[in-house]
Structure 1
Amino acid sequence: MTNLRTFPKYIFVTGGVCSSLGKGIASASIGALLKASGYKIFVQKLDPYLNIDPGTMSPSQHGEVYVTDDGAETDLDIGHYERFIDVSLSKDSTVTTGKIYTEVLTKERRGDFLGGTIQIIPHITDAIKERIQQAAKKSKCDIMIIEIGGTIGDIEGEPFIEAMRQFRNELGSKNVLSMHMTLLPYLKAAKELKTKPTQLSVRELKRQGIQPDFILARADYKIPQALLDKISLFCGVEKRFVIPVTTSNSIYEVPVKFYEHRITELIAEKMQLQNLQTNIEEWEKLLQKINASDQELSIGLVGKYMRLEDSYISIIEALKSACYACGCKLNIVWINAERLESQTSNEWEKIKKIKAIIVPGGFGNRGIEGKVLAAKYARIHNIPYLGICLGAQILAIEYARYILNNPQLTSEEFDEYSDSENHVIHFLPGQSNKKSKGGTLRVGSYPCNILRKSIAYESYNQDIVHERHRHRYEFNNYFRNQLSGLIFSGIYERQDLVEIMEIKNHPFMVGCQFHPEFKSRPHKPHPLFFQFIKIACMDKNKNATTF
């Protein structure tokens, strides 16, 4: 699309009424359709919170921390963008108020503003616009999608909305497009959807100087055409550009539904994109797989951030993608690691009914012994086990206790004051428990050499892979020669760090220090997840596909 190279197009996506409407899924779906139309896409999330990044935020409050190849700790929506659009995003994809203010105040302290008074307008808004344009330039994208977090009316979000307004005025409506997603709540007593919250949300958006080009009307029930017409009338948006977005059985239905509502054609009309042809064959094939998956596979997820499923959203989506490829339907059995520590807990009744166990990452010592017991159960009963980051460390600790007959073996993270000879897991070289928590982890993509004649090699069929990390603890090489039967099948050779370990003569008991879920895609599951699910469902479906 050479006619766009010198001047990229920009699509802003905002939300109203409440959070968690699905702006991220909508942005990702639109990006996927535009990519399927032949355009190069880049996506950016503008988050109004004051944190520098989500790295120190609790998963129970904010969901998982997603990591990019270049080591950015980001909002979980970046994961949706990558999965849907199948692109590798970067640090340029995530901007927070904390980053913007830090950047502007650093310049002020350095004297860059020559003693001038620093204000929201123009200094903060200029910094926001500069971040957007830098990302577009570095990515060399044709179309850039910018999602603004939070909702219209949030105090902390107003500088971003003002920057958006200025951006549109400067570049023109043919180059900057506004999409506003808003809720139509259903009142059970009245038995109807209500448009008033949408009207008020759009009114607030107009008050801040922005007339939306599209309204994405979000509802849990089918929206009658009369209500869409009413939204059009009261919000000043042409009927064709009011798009119903009803709750789907799968998030991967959204691109197809948007396509059916001709959203790419309407975007092309607004932004004067020529000869647009959208190929959604890949998405249609995926939906066929999803709908054909009828045999249920129960996977136990042993975690401790149980209040919010988004804490493990990338793992859930990676499991689903692997299940689709294997012709089965995922049933996640949520198992509370803390409750496993009580031998009489009902969690043990759950764990006896599952076909495989996955232990995800996490921090701190809460629920650790429960996770160790889950790993022990998987080892003894030959149940497929996949340990990710902390889950890999749990595998090592449990197996070391078994082989060396020493229940005191643990991680330095959980017992930093005990004898270091008991630390199967210890601080990474160069790390220290005295470091601050933010921005000090080993993050980003690193190469891993794969040992042949291993489950890891059978999964990848490659000698070297690149995977994303987020941790500060690592397997202690002091124990490497003491644990017979534990195969170290993935190594980061530069520092001789164990990246993958697996138990010999077990169907699938694998731990990886990295986070494979971040590189899984709905159309192509991650090799480790695929192998894990294939082994787990082998008795149920011996015709699992390959990719």
Structure 2
Amino acid sequence: MARFIFVTGGVVSSLGKGLLSASLAALLQARGYKCRIRKFDPYLNVDPGTMSPYQHGEVYVTDDGAETDLDLGHYERFSGVSAKQSDNVTTGRIYRDIIAKERRGDYLGATVQVVPHVTNAIKEFALTDTDGLDFVICEIGGTVGDIESLPFIEALRQLRNDLGRGNTVSVHTTLVPWIKAAGELKTKPTQHSVREISSLGVQPDVLLCRAEMPIPDSDKAKIAQFCNVPKSAVIEALDARSIYDVPLQYHREGLDDEVLAAFGITDAPRPDLARWDEIMDRLDHPEGEVTIGVVGKYVGLPDAYKSLREALVHGGIANRVKVNIKWVDAELFEQADANLATELEPMHAILVPGGFGERGSEGKIASVKFARERKVPFFGICLGMQMACIEGARNTAGIADASTTEFGDTPEPVVGLITEWMSPEGIQARAAGGDLGGTMRLGAYEATLGGNSRVAQIYGSTTISERHRHRYEVNSHYMAPLEKGGLVFSGMSPDGRLPEIVERPDHPWFIGVQFHPELKSRPFEPHPLFASFIEAAVQQSRLV
């Protein structure tokens, strides 16, 4: 039977529960254990698919088409285990399912309540699909004390009783703040946080204490005494120089040893952390550096492009170079006094990422034109590919009015709403006026690549599978004039109906993809497109 590790947080948000969960999974895997990580989100949205990136950061998409919390990206990048729809649940999804059952009469007239119906649904989610696993790590979103998280904490308490204390461990993250005026760390917020979760029936076994300064042994002893844990279970968590150093840092502090000890496991094999040492060696000792200009819409919140940022770092790891990312607001290039050259000339490569809506679109198109004309390596992802096609239509194919129906009516819809597509389950159809949530082309789909194309060389294959999240597609009726203008469609859906990849053979590196390759990149297995893109940037850096 799988053992369960529950990760909770207190005092403040953003203490790094997601990185803790991902790092702990990596450390347990390094000892030979099989792990899966799950995220419980207390908000009432069914999923984050309709939430603004400014509210929630990026939406992470799984192979099976789930729109999930960005923490699942951390889970995949650190563990290498592909997440599933069953690895993320929200309060909204739980209540939706319970209310649907109540309307059908499934509860046979019973009064539907938080306990037991909601808590049972949470427990069922935690226990589903765990065969063959050694550990299941469950991260509870939010902060202990929030009204929204109370049903999850109650379900956690019940699970600890249901499964037996020897089969569950609670890891609680807290803040040990540094008070500059007093010149000392304060342990009281941690004490209050542990008291809060203990009052709800969950006694933490291990404490991960975030701090800006090293925590003295005397303070660790004080925390241990007042929080009812061994001193060795008070784990110090200082800021790391890279998120990929976190597993190594936590191992040095004894996190994995303490978690295993809490389970009564004292004979676990030592972890093999060679690949994490190699990653950090490449990050700490680069043999050069490049600057990538990311021209996007949500650059004010880097979490909106979390996976993209990490995939660029992975490309740097593959080429042993430091990647400097310059976030550029696409709207800057729509102003009358805009100077693209001033902003983009220092860049060794330009990337236009995905997004939704018209704002900043003309700035993205101008960036594509700059990259095409100046022969700067260019990478367009999702909307970025569509903007590359519109730029090509306007400036190399002679279609001056080219645009997308996403931004309104247009006489030349080079990009339009996709109304049906083939999936493993059969034909999927969507209506223009339908719901927004969960109605896009989501998840992993195959594509067929041209045998002589650059992308086929990069992938080393003519058949690939990549994750999608979009509801607009390049209109295949415009393929002929676009190809005449030099933009080659080098990747198509297997049925030949949906364009997946475009490239310019007369350009050093110019590729646009309809999917999101950043979602499948790992630090120890960089995505081939990002590795090749950064390699092209390195070559460009030697020319300037």
Indicate the larger mover: 371-380 or 275-284.
Answer: 275-284
* Post-superposition offset of 1:435: 1.5
2:388 aligned residue (395, 403, 415): 395
- How do 1:109-508 and structure 2 match up within 5 A? 109-137=103-131, 140-273=132-265, 274-293=267-286, 295-345=288-338, 348-415=341-408, 417-419=409-411, 422-430=412-420, 431-483=430-482, 484=484, 485-494=486-495, 496-508=497-509
Moved more, 521-530 or 448-457: 448-457
Tell me the equivalent position of 2:97: 103
Matched position secondary structure for 1:265: helix
Within a 5 Å distance, the mapping from 1:11-90 to structure 2 comes to 11-90=5-84
CA contact (8 A) 2:244 2:276 kept: yes
- Could you tell me which amino acid in structure 2 is paired with residue 289 of structure 1? R
> Identity rate of aligned residues, in percent?
47
Q: Tell me the amino acid that sits aligned with residue 311 of structure 1.
A: A
Distance (whole Å) between structure 2 residues aligned to residue 324 and residue 221 of structure 1: 29
Q: CA deviation at 1:397?
A: 0.5
Q: Would the aligned equivalents of 1:152 and 1:204 in 2 still touch at CA under 8 Å?
A: yes
After TM superposition, give the deviation of residue 191 of structure 1 in Å.
2.4
Separation in structure 2 between the aligned mates of residue 536 and residue 437 of structure 1, nearest angstrom: 37
Aligned partners of 1:338 and 1:367 also within 8 Å: yes
- In structure 2, the CA distance between the partners of 1:347 and 1:507, relative to structure 1 (3 Å rule), is closer
Structure 2: how far apart are the matches of 1:191 and 1:462?
59
Residues 376 and 22 (structure 1 numbering): CA distance in 2 closer, same or farther, change over 3 Å?
Answer: same
Bigger CA drift: 341-350 or 68-77?
A: 341-350
Please tell me the residue identity of whatever aligns with 1:494: D
CA distance 1:187–1:348, shift in 2 (3 Å): farther
Residue 192 (structure 1) shift: 2.2
- Structure 1 position 228, deviation (Å): 1.6
Consecutive unaligned residues in structure 1, runs of 5 or more:
1-6, 543-547
Q: Does structure 1 retain, via aligned residues, the 8 Å contact 2:206–2:258?
A: no
CA distance in 2 between counterparts of 1:218 and 1:292 reads 27
Spell out the pairing of 1:511-526 with structure 2 (5 A cutoff): 511-526=512-527
- Per-residue CA shift, 1:93-136, capped at 9, x if unaligned? 10100111111111111112111111111111011001111132
Question: For residues 452 and 440 of structure 2, what CA distance do their matches in structure 1 show?
Answer: 32
- Provide runs of 4+ in structure 1 moved above 4 Å: 539-542
8 Å contact from structure 2 (residues 349, 540) kept in 1: no
Corresponding residue SS for 1:135: coil
TM (norm. structure 1) is: 0.95
User: After the TM superposition, which of the residue ranges 312-321 and 271-280 deviates more from structure 2?
Assistant: 271-280
Give me the whole-angstrom Cα distance separating, in 2, the residues matched to 1:348 and 1:53: 40
TM superposition shift of 1:541: 7.4
Please report how far the alpha carbon of residue 306 of structure 1 lies from its aligned counterpart in structure 2 after TM superposition: 2.3
Kindly provide the amino acid, as one letter, of the partner of residue 353 in structure 2. Answer: P
* Structure 2 letter corresponding to 1:8: A
- CA drift at 1:495: 5.2
2:137 aligned counterpart, secondary structure = strand
Indicate the SS of the match to 1:174. Answer: helix
CA distance in 2 between partners of 1:473 and 1:287 (Å): 39
Letter in 1 for 2:459: Y
Tell me the equivalent position of 2:426: none
In structure 2, the CA distance between the partners of 1:12 and 1:533, relative to structure 1 (3 Å rule), is: same
Aligned-partner Cα distance in 2 for 1:510–1:446: 19
Secondary structure in 1 aligned to 2:525? coil
Q: Cα distance, 1:494 vs. partner?
A: 2.3
2:208/2:236 contact within 8 Å kept: yes
Distance change (3 Å), C-alpha of 1:229 and 1:541: farther
> Partner residue of 2:529?
528
Partner of 1:3: none
Alignment check: 8 A CA contact 1:256 1:283 kept: yes
Q: Report the count of equivalent residues.
A: 531
Distance 2:341 2:143 in 1: 42
Distance across 2 between alignment mates of 1:450 and 1:312: 27
> Partners in 2 of 1:408 and 1:346 — Cα distance?
24
Q: Which residue of 2 aligns with 1:545?
A: none
**1:390 alignment partner AA:** L
TM-superposed CA distance for 1:272, in Å, is 3.2
- Unpaired runs of at least 5, structure 2: 421-429
The code of the aligned residue for 1:175 comes to: N
**1:327–1:541 CA contact under 8 A, matched in 2:** no
Instruction: State whether residues 129 and 163 of structure 1, in contact with CA within 8 Å, keep that contact through their aligned partners in structure 2.
Output: yes
Residue type at the aligned position of 1:230 = K
Q: How far is 1:296 from its partner?
A: 2.5
Contact 1:295 1:540 in 2 (8 A): no
1:490 aligned partner, one-letter code: G
RMSD: 1.4
- Distance between the aligned counterparts of 1:296 and 1:455, measured in 2? 24
CA distance in 1, matches of 2:96, 2:253: 42
Q: Which stretch has the larger CA shift, 222-231 or 107-116?
A: 222-231
Measure how far apart 1:350 and its partner are. 2.3
Deviation of residue 197 (structure 1)? 1.1
Given that 1:50 and 1:96 are in contact with CA atoms closer than 8 Å, whether structure 2 keeps it comes out as: yes
What is aligned with 2:427? none
SS in 2 for 1:289: helix
1:221–1:247: 8 Å Cα contact kept in structure 2? no
